[in-house]
Structure formats: structure tokens, C-alpha cells
Amino acid sequence: MSKRYRFFIVLAVVAVCFMFLYPTIRWYFMIPKEDKTLALGSREQIKIYASRLAQEDLQELKVWARNGEEIPEESSFLVSIAKSHIKRTKNSAPKVWDARGVVSVFVNEREALEAIETYYRDDIFALKDLQGSAVQLGLDLSGGMSIVLRADMEALGERLGRTPNTDDRTDAMNRVLEVLNSRIDRFGLTEPVIRLQGSDEVYVEIPGTADPERINSIIMGKGTLAFHLVDEDATAAFQAYYRAHPTSTFDGNGNVIDPSIIPADAQILGVYTKDRYGLDEFVDYIAVKKEIGLDGNHIENVSVNRDQLTGTPDVIFQLDSEGGEIFYEFTAANVQKRIAIVMDDKVKSASTVREPIPGGSVQMTGFSVDEANNIALVLRTAAFPVDLEVVSQQAIGSSLGEDTIRQGLYALLGGLALVMVFMLVFYKGSGINAVAAQVLNIYIMFSVLSAFSFTLTLPSIAGFILTIGMAVDANVVIFERIKEELRLGKGRKAAVEAGFSKAFWAIMDSNITTFIAALFLSQLGSGPIRGFAVSLAIGVFSSVFTALFVSRLIFDFGTDVIKQQKMSIDWRIKE
């Protein structure tokens, strides 16, 4: 490969790695702490915060408009919000962008309030997305969530029709562990701790700062999905009654006080949709038949696709043969009637059956992207064999503390510094090549971690430290080969070419075997072992690249650009 191609490859790798690493740099070093706290809060907290600030800004804007004042510099974003609103609605702009001009842009106070709240909401959600793209810190470095779940063995006994024995309890708890591991793994969280605690409790540790609400929807979601026929007459009767008795229809637990207002074979459920914050928002009540038309246990495969015309996400699942027949008969008997999709006692959608649906392939619409992915995720991992309840849930701090984190980083930087000093002392001027390769090696490794949103833990840092020592081996092999060629009387250019050529397969063999070992560790290990293996595997690729591409490019630069004739590589070889 020519020097020009090698240079452009190295340049492209550096540029791409910077793109991957930039979200991590920005999140940890450029975002103020108070903004991080906001972004890491729950969606409910964000909603309250954005709504409060929007109301405060609107009140100040109205005062400024009444007094005919200009908008202060620190609130100039209100002008930007008004300009964006005009661009979107294609209305005419005011002559002067003072407070009165900004107020005149909006039809009413509600429209202005929504525009300002949207500004705050989008800003915080952008930070949430940035945090998701950055390198995540493990439980040992940044803390996380601690959850204790208890299995309801009495409900298990009711399901079995007898008192569960020891084998029943053990089997149920083992299946709970399997489902939890599957759900959390597919959720994208790395290195969770999930273990039995006693005979009927499960202890879960989730590293990082993931959204507690979304985690609960994954861990605690029963995954119960069923299709119910909508009772239109009962719905109309209930809504009429509810309008006349809005305060005496339900008791404190949400149950209908007077069940006679609907037929005995029907039940009242709430219809929910997602608001602008991704939270469940109540829309209306609907009456559905208690009899289940199709149970979600017949679902086999689940996927999320986007509609090609509207771009909205659809949840598509395939039923087993029995479920396909049941659903065909159910839809055939209820053509031109509405069927409600009920998940965890919430009506997510209600659609009219246009024609019988054969084949066992069902498409669900009307979900947001996150909700569609969460529903598909829960359905893939099935329901728990026993009901779970949260005993305790709390955020926990770093188990090692800032001092230990600092010591780990010092070990990483210290090891890198010592290796650099050794290479400079032992290989003189050529040691600069190894130093540059090592720095770029660490840079590439962190970039890959950021690109795939891997979790950085203390074992991962140990893998980095080990990689530093392994990476310098490739440079040592190359340098020793070059020294042999110089002793044979070859010139600088010929020695470099022969040295890299003869060292190539020795480097590849050693790194391939290391990568195979790391691959097996990542597949068979778990927790800290997997984190160590992942960082080691990444280090193998980056160290080979820096040794064979970067180091060679530096040598060629000295030979062809600076026109160096001698080689500073050994104290016993004269330059």
C-alpha cells in the first residue's frame, strides 16, 4: 500500500473516531452539572420543570409587553421562539421585535405557553440523547439503581391450584432470573447484577443513569396483552352517566361504584396515549367485553417496522397456529366492530375490523417509537411465571468512591507514561513512533466505546492497561526486526520495509490468538469479565492498526519527507 493511501486511511480513522468520541467529550466536559441533573431526571420531572419555566417566562413577557419594554438580553431566546413559530405558521412578522411584537405573534396565551415549553422540553431531551450516545460509566464508577423484587408465592399457589412446593418455588425463581436477564440485556444495559436474595426475592443492580420509569416498564411490565371486543352501547351509556356524575362514578381505588350502569360481561378501562414527554396520558374511558378474544400468550415473533407512507412505528407479531385460528374466528365474527388492544389493563388502541385477518400475522399501530419498542421487548421476553412486587428501589452511589476511580485513571496514565519512557530510552528517536502509536491507540479505544455506548467499568480500565503493554509488543517486534536489517548493512528505507514485512505475521498471530481468547471471555463470561474482554478485544484491533499503519507512516515520513538517511533506534548502532 502506498504512503498516500496509508496517510488518508489514518486521517479518516482519526476523523471518524473524533465523531464517535465527541458526544462523550461534550457530555462529560462541556455540559454544566445542573444541566446534566435535568437530563438525567425522569420524564415527569422534566415535564414539571419545563412547564414551570414556561409559565414564569410567559408572565414576565406579559409584564414587559404591558409596559412597552424591550426583551432583556438573557431572555432573547423568546424572540427566536417567536420567529420559529412564524416560520412554521407562515404568519406575518411584527415590525419591531420587542415584547409586544413577540406577544402579537401568538393567537392566545396557551399557544405561547406551549411554544415556550416546547423550547425547554426539546433542549432537555437533546441532552438526554447526548447522554445516551456517550460512554456509560458502570456501577463501580458512577453508581446506578438498586431494586429488590419479591415474588408473590400466594398468587403462584392460586395459579397452580395447590400450595407450591420447594421445586415449584425454585423453578419459578429460576425462570424469573431468565426473564429479567433477557429483558435487561435486550434493553441495552450492560453488566447488570441480577441474583437471588433469599427464597423469594431478586436483587437487581443497574449501572449508569438510565430513566427509572423506562426501566420499571421493562422489569415490572407483566407483558399481558389481549384483544377485547369494544361494547359500543355500554361505552355510550357509561360516558353519559360519567358526565352526569363526574365525582361519584369511581371509588378511591378506581373501581366503578355502581356496576349496574354497564352490563355484567363488560368492564371499564382507560384509553391512554403518549403525550409530548412520552408519558401515558389519559384520553377517555371505554367499555370492553371481559371475555378475551385473543390472549397474548399465542404470540411468537415480534418486530417493529415503520410505515412507508406515514413513518409511524408498527408492532407486528406472528401468532402460533392455534392463535392464528382463534384470531381469524374472532375477527370474522366481529367485522365492522371495534377491537381494543389492552396491555396491562390500559387500552392502547382500538381499531375497526374491516375484514377477517387470516394467517396469524397481526399489525398493531398507534404507538410512539419508544412505546412500540418497549411493547415488542416485553412481548419477546414473555410474562413472568410469578407476579413480582417492588420491595425497594433506590439510587446508589459509586461503590468504589472518587478516590478509587482516580487511582484507576492514574494507573492507566502511569502505565502509559512508563511505557513511553521505556520506549524513548531503549529505542531512542524511534521510540517517538511507539509513543504516537500508543496515544492514538487509547484514543481509538475510547472512541469505539463511545460509538457503541459500551459501559466503562474498573475491569474495562484494567483491560486498557493490559492493552498498553500488549500494544507496545508489536512495536518492539518491528523495531527488533529493523535493527537486524540495519546490522546487515541495509539503509534506512530498506531496513524499514524489511522489518515491517518480516514482523507482520508474528504480530498478526499473537493478536489473533489474544482476540480469540477475548471473544470466548465475552461470550462465556458475565459482568466484570465481559467488560474486561470487550476492552481487550477493542485494544487488539486498535493496537494492530496503530503498529502497522501509524508507526509505518511515521517512518516513511522521516525517510521520504524529511529525507533522513540514518536510523535512531539503538545505542549500539551508530546513526
Taking alpha carbons only, the member of 509, 508, 505, 501 closest to residue 484 is 501
In the block, residue with C-alpha cell 528505507: 493
- Tens of each residue's pLDDT in the chain, 575 residues: 677 788 888 889 899 999 999 998 999 889 998 888 888 777 778 888 999 999 999 999 999 999 988 999 989 999 999 999 898 888 888 888 999 999 999 988 889 999 999 999 999 989 988 887 888 777 677 777 778 888 888 888 887 778 888 888 887 888 788 777 766 655 444 456 788 888 888 888 776 655 566 566 666 655 567 889 999 999 999 999 988 888 888 887 778 888 888 999 999 998 887 777 767 778 889 999 999 998 876 777 777 888 777 777 877 878 888 888 998 999 899 999 998 888 778 888 787 888 888 877 877 766 667 667 666 655 555 556 677 888 887 766 655 556 666 777 787 788 778 888 888 888 887 888 888 888 888 899 889 888 877 777 778 878 877 887 777 888 888 888 888 888 888 888 888 888 888 888 888 888 888 889 888 887 777 666 777 888 888 888 888 888 888 888 888 888 777 777 777 777 766 55
pLDDT of amino acid 366: 64
Q: Please state the CATH superfamily assignment of the domain spanning residues 401-561 in this structure.
A: Multidrug efflux transporter AcrB transmembrane domain (1.20.1640.10)
d(CA 16, CA 13): 5
Upper half-sphere CA count for residue 126 (Cβ side, 13 Å)? 8
d(CA 572, CA 441): 29
* pTM for this model (two decimals): 0.68
d(CA 262, CA 236): 10
SS3 549: helix
Element (H, E) at 277: none
DSSP string for 131-142: HHHSPEE-HHHH
SS3 32: coil
pLDDT of amino acid 527: 62
CATH, domain range 144-221+391-396: 3.30.70.3400
φ, ψ dihedrals at 81, nearest 5°: -65, -45
Taking alpha carbons only, the member of 502, 518, 434, 425 closest to residue 468 is 434
The identity of residue 301, as a single letter, is N
Can you give 179-216 as a three-state secondary structure string?
HHHHHHHHHCCCCCEEEEECCCEEEEEEECCCCHHHHH
Taking alpha carbons only, the member of 303, 326, 322, 297 closest to residue 226 is 297
Q: Please, which residues have CB within 8 angstroms of residue 384's CB and are 6 or more apart in sequence?
A: 175, 176, 179, 222, 223
Judged on CB neighbours under 10 Å (0-12, 13-18, 19+), 410 is exposed
In the block, residue with C-alpha cell 492497561: 465
SS3 455: strand
Residue ranges of E strands in 310-360: 313-319, 338-343, 346-352
Residue 440 grid coordinates:
492514538
pLDDT of amino acid 52: 92
For residues 270 and 347, is the Cβ–Cβ distance under 8 A?
A: yes
Instruction: Spell out a b/e string for 167-198, using b for 16 or more CB atoms within 10 Å of the CB, else e.
Output: ebbeebbeebeebbeebbeebebbbbebeeee
Taking alpha carbons only, the member of 330, 254, 331, 253 closest to residue 285 is 254
Across the strands, what pairs with 436? Answer: none
pLDDT of amino acid 333: 92
φ, ψ dihedrals at 126, nearest 5°: -65, -40
d(CA 454, CA 445): 11
Residues of the chain within CATH 1.20.1640.10 domain(s) are 401-561
For residues 178 and 384, is the Cβ–Cβ distance under 8 A?
A: no
Query: Domain 225-383 is in which class?
Result: alpha beta
Residues of the chain within CATH 3.30.70.3400 domain(s) are 144-221+391-396
d(CA 556, CA 38): 50
Residue ranges of E strands in 401-450: none
pLDDT of amino acid 377: 58
For residues 40 and 124, is the Cβ–Cβ distance under 8 A?
A: no
φ, ψ dihedrals at 122, nearest 5°: -65, -35
Geometric angle at alpha carbon 358, from 357 and 362, rounded to 5°: 60
For residues 334 and 355, is the Cβ–Cβ distance under 8 A?
A: no
For residues 298 and 326, is the Cβ–Cβ distance under 8 A?
A: yes
d(CA 261, CA 489): 103
Element (H, E) at 445: helix 431-451
Q: Cα torsion for 368, 369, 371, 373, to the nearest 10°?
A: 150
d(CA 467, CA 472): 8
